[in-house]
Amino acid sequence: MTRIACVLMVAVAGLSAASACHSPYKRVGGGCFYFSGNIKRNWFGARDYCKSLEQGGSLAIVDDCSLMRPLWNHILFTYGKSSHWLGASDMHHEGSWTWVDGSPVAMGMPFWSFNEPNNDGQEHCLEFWSAGNGYFNDGQCSRVESFICQAPRSKNSWSR
């Protein structure tokens, strides 16, 4: 085998590995995500479930608007129009939304649904909102719903 052929094979194998996600995660929109489907939890239970997955993980951090449409489309086409917990809250300081990694959540459009967050009824946890067609909403953390986990960014090939 020629030297060029070997280099090409290594490059292709590297690209293949970079595009794969370890089970139970699947690649959507450039990241590795787990969708709970019929498994439903409150926000805290969802957070703990994500941490317990093989490879570890967290509730999904959707800090790039280019991720929103692929994730929401995956939900729509796989599970139908349903709300899913994401990895952010303002429970430590009202109105100061942070992701589970401590980074701030972008406010307003194109992330949040119209007039959200509104803290209606003590809502402190972030969800992809079915009524908001896949935009963010602040929901009551005790509500039981589906959720999205994300593989640790260091364990997948996704870089922002």
Q: Where are the domains of the chain?
A: 27-150
Q: What is the pLDDT of residue 154?
A: 60
Where do we find the tokens 């999904």?
Answer: 60
Q: What is the pLDDT of residue 10?
A: 33
Q: What is the pLDDT of residue 3?
A: 39
Q: Is 131 exposed, middle or buried (CB count within 10 Å of its CB: 0-12, 13-18, 19+)?
A: exposed
Q: What is the pLDDT of residue 11?
A: 35
Q: What is the pLDDT of residue 130?
A: 83
**Which residues fall within 8 angstroms of residue 82, CB to CB, at 6 or more apart?**
75, 130, 145, 146
Q: In the chain, how many H helices and how many E strands? A: 3, 8
What tens digit of pLDDT does each residue of 53-64 get? 988 899 999 999
What fold is seen in the domain 27-150? Mannose-Binding Protein A; Chain A (3.10.100)
**How would you classify the pairing of strands 146-150 and 84-89?**
parallel
pLDDT less than 50: residues of the chain = 1-17, 155-160
